[in-house]
Amino acid sequence: MSSIAKLLEQFLAHPFKNLAAIITAAVTSFFVVRAIYRVTFHPLVRFPGPKLRAISHLPHAFSGERGRQPYDVRELHKKYGPVVRICPNQLSFITPGSWEDIHGHAATKKLLKYGYFKVRPDAQPMLTTSGEEHSRQRSAFAHGFSQRAISEQSPTLTAHVDNLIAMLEQKVKQESVFDVGEWMRFLAFDIIGDFTLNTQFECVKNQRYHPWVALLMKWFRAVSFVTNANAFGQLAPFIMLFAPVEHLKGVKDHLDMSAQKVRERLAIGDDPTRNDLWTYLLRNKGDKALSLGEMEVNAALFIIAATEPLSDVLCGTLYFLALYPEVREKLRAELESCMGSDDALTMANTARSPYLHAVINESMRMYPPIPGGMRRKTPPQGHTISGIEIPPDTVVAVYQLAAFTLPNNFARTDQFIPERWLPADHPERPKDTLGDHQDVFQPFSVGPKNCIGKGLAYAEMKLIIARFACAFDCKVVDDGFAIDKQTAYLFRDRPPLKLEVKMRKVS
Ligand code: HEM
């Protein structure tokens, strides 16, 4: 009794000092006990991975902050195999079948998106919705992205590409070495501004970014910061205090400006002289019609979703064509045979070139525009992925860079071999690539939430690459674009793609 009284006396003598000591001890014990639990009794303990990653989210979050997450996850797969515990509650898969088991139709009914956040309190774009709401929005936009709608975009798309080629012809007369990547981004913005926002950004014409485009760069950084902050669960609001305010403001400005443009487009209504996304969307009436807020946030999403990945693929493909002149020659020969009586490269005839398709796919394999993973959370009853029972509430993803570039799935993985995408019975298909797990290559994802713009993206990429490859010769001048040294946040943080570009010499 007297010793308790003594302790109390000591405590009361320095109440704050002792309280701080007690809190410190309690917090430390909590972290120690939790760390021990995570490496002993946690349901994911049977999955391989570094102990530090099993204990804490910090290594993954720091890797994300450095822009090296996809590369670091690839290193982990090299060391630990096709399924790795990359965080206390997160697994990365590169197994055949994992796409279907995580993102396919049946899986989408059970697994929820994880780590996506709401951009506006009153309305969400289709990317962040689920269930009925997602299906309703997706079907409202489906006609606007149908094959027919894409074909109807041909004149607009061709005009933008003609403009680019004409501007580049002028450019190469003045200087031969320049950042081709910048031009690809100019073009991607011009096309998508026209199609989704009824806006002429005129980046190619003015040879500089529209001020709006600069905002989007801030958006990408802000989204990456929020995604990493969310990994810390209840600590996320505290971490958000350190979010770069300027970047968050970029998000808000982009939303406001997209909303303004949508309202201007809606005021025009069903204009027979225009044929853009809204031409189709406005045909949805009654229950099928979207609210104004939904239209506004989706317009903001399209600009983001359609430009960065697309210009990344264009840059990746031009980089490989510059590195591999023999591939470029072969591609030109096939494109010229596809032209036929049109005597010009069009959206229709470039769609018929299997080698062009193969070149673009091989570029996306080696240089995926979304190199990280799109996360989903397993339901309370757990879930089976690639035949493996996964516990409830586990965050799962296929990390694209690792899945597409490790020998688990592809032969001669470091080599640029477009022929691996030709049909199995094609005489030029290398025999050692017949065992490639091509179903692991899903840069547009699979299932009901895959990329709605996949058809449009291929049509754009094929026309642009075909026209560029037939008009210009190019050479890589330095190692500034070395693909493994790059960083990636939500999308790639692409360095300049400096090429020496000359008018093509036709022999
Ligand atoms: C090479 C170019 C592109 C790539 C690699 C790509 C890739 C993807 C991927 C992987 C997703 C799934 C995202 C997730 O599950 O979180 C996605 C979704 C989406 N993409 Fe693309 N994309 C490209 C171009 C485009 C274009 C041109 C558009 C058109 C405007 C577009 C619009 C969208 C939209 C709206 C979604 C959300 C779909 C939904 O939630 O139902 N993308 N994209």
pLDDT band at 1, cuts 50/70/90? Answer: low
Is beta strand 177-179 parallel, antiparallel or unpaired with respect to 498-503?
A: antiparallel
Question: Is residue 218 predicted with pLDDT exceeding 80?
Answer: no
What is the mean predicted confidence (pLDDT) over 371-385?
96
- Out of 117, 451, 454, mutate this one to test ligand 1's pocket (max ligand atoms within 8 Å of CB): namely 451
CB distance 138 to ligand 1 below 6 Å:
yes
The tens digit of pLDDT for each residue in 163-199 reads: 999 999 999 999 999 999 999 999 999 999 888 887 8
What is the mean predicted confidence (pLDDT) over 338-360?
89
H-helix segments, 269-399? 277-281, 292-323, 325-339, 347-350, 354-366
User: Is the model more confident about 273 or about 49?
Assistant: 49
Atom of ligand 1 nearest to the CA of 277: 30
Q: Is 451 annotated as a binding residue?
A: yes
Q: Assess contact for 368 and 485: CB atoms under 8 A.
A: no
Query: What is the whole-number distance in angstroms between the Cα of residue 283 and the centre of ligand 1?
Result: 23
Q: What pLDDT score was predicted for residue 213?
A: 79
CB distance 127 to ligand 1 below 6 Å:
yes
Q: Whose CA is nearest to atom 7 of ligand 1?
A: 444
Atom of ligand 1 nearest to the CA of 460: 27
Q: Assess contact for 474 and 297: CB atoms under 8 A.
A: no
The tens digit of pLDDT for each residue in 449-498 reads: 999 999 999 999 999 999 999 999 999 999 999 999 999 887 888 999 99
Atom of ligand 1 nearest to the CA of 457: 27
State the pTM of this model: 0.92
CB distance 171 to ligand 1 below 6 Å:
no
Atom of ligand 1 nearest to the CA of 301: 35
CB distance 445 to ligand 1 below 6 Å:
yes
Question: Is residue 275 predicted with pLDDT exceeding 90?
Answer: no
Question: Is residue 280 predicted with pLDDT exceeding 90?
Answer: no
Token pair in block for residue 393: 């509430």
CB distance 490 to ligand 1 below 6 Å:
no
CB distance 458 to ligand 1 below 6 Å:
no
**Percent of the chain beyond pLDDT 70?**
97
CB distance 371 to ligand 1 below 6 Å:
no
| E strand intervals along 267-412 | 376-377, 383-385, 388-390, 395-398
The tens digit of pLDDT for each residue in 76-112 reads: 999 999 999 999 999 999 999 999 999 999 999 999 9
> Looking at the domain 59-503, which fold is it?
Cytochrome p450 (1.10.630)
Question: Is residue 327 predicted with pLDDT exceeding 80?
Answer: yes
| E strand intervals along 302-421 | 376-377, 383-385, 388-390, 395-398
Q: Whose CA is nearest to atom 2 of ligand 1?
A: 310
Q: What pLDDT score was predicted for residue 366?
A: 98
Atom of ligand 1 nearest to the CA of 126: 40
The tens digit of pLDDT for each residue in 440-450 reads: 999 999 999 99
Question: Is residue 339 predicted with pLDDT exceeding 70?
Answer: yes
What is the mean predicted confidence (pLDDT) over 283-299?
87
Please give the mean pLDDT across all residues of the chain. Answer: 91
The tens digit of pLDDT for each residue in 114-160 reads: 988 777 888 999 999 999 999 999 999 999 999 999 998 899 999 99
Q: What pLDDT score was predicted for residue 83?
A: 98
Annotated domain spans of the chain: 1-41, 59-503
CB distance 368 to ligand 1 below 6 Å:
no
Is beta strand 90-93 parallel, antiparallel or unpaired with respect to 395-398?
A: parallel
Q: What pLDDT score was predicted for residue 232?
A: 65
Q: Assess contact for 393 and 89: CB atoms under 8 A.
A: yes
CB distance 449 to ligand 1 below 6 Å:
yes
Q: Whose CA is nearest to atom 21 of ligand 1?
A: 451
pLDDT band at 222, cuts 50/70/90? Answer: confident
For residues 244 and 220, what is the distance between their CA atoms, to the nearest angstrom?
Answer: 12
Query: What is the whole-number distance in angstroms between the Cα of residue 28 and the centre of ligand 1?
Result: 43
For residues 486 and 163, what is the distance between their CA atoms, to the nearest angstrom?
Answer: 30
Atom of ligand 1 nearest to the CA of 442: 10
Question: Is residue 233 predicted with pLDDT exceeding 80?
Answer: no
Query: What is the whole-number distance in angstroms between the Cα of residue 421 and the centre of ligand 1?
Result: 22
Which value, in Å, is the radius of gyration of the alpha carbons in the chain? 26
Question: Is residue 64 predicted with pLDDT exceeding 90?
Answer: no
Complete DSSP assignment for 255-270: HHHHHHHHHHHHHH-S
What is the mean predicted confidence (pLDDT) over 327-346?
88
User: Is the model more confident about 314 or about 213?
Assistant: 314
The tens digit of pLDDT for each residue in 386-436 reads: 999 999 999 999 999 999 999 999 999 999 999 999 999 999 999 999 999
pLDDT band at 234, cuts 50/70/90? Answer: low
Q: Whose CA is nearest to atom 37 of ligand 1?
A: 127
pLDDT band at 374, cuts 50/70/90? Answer: very high
CB distance 456 to ligand 1 below 6 Å:
yes
CB distance 374 to ligand 1 below 6 Å:
yes
Token pair in block for residue 336: 């010229």
Question: Is residue 220 predicted with pLDDT exceeding 80?
Answer: no
User: Is the model more confident about 118 or about 310?
Assistant: 310
Token pair in block for residue 12: 């009361």
CB distance 305 to ligand 1 below 6 Å:
yes
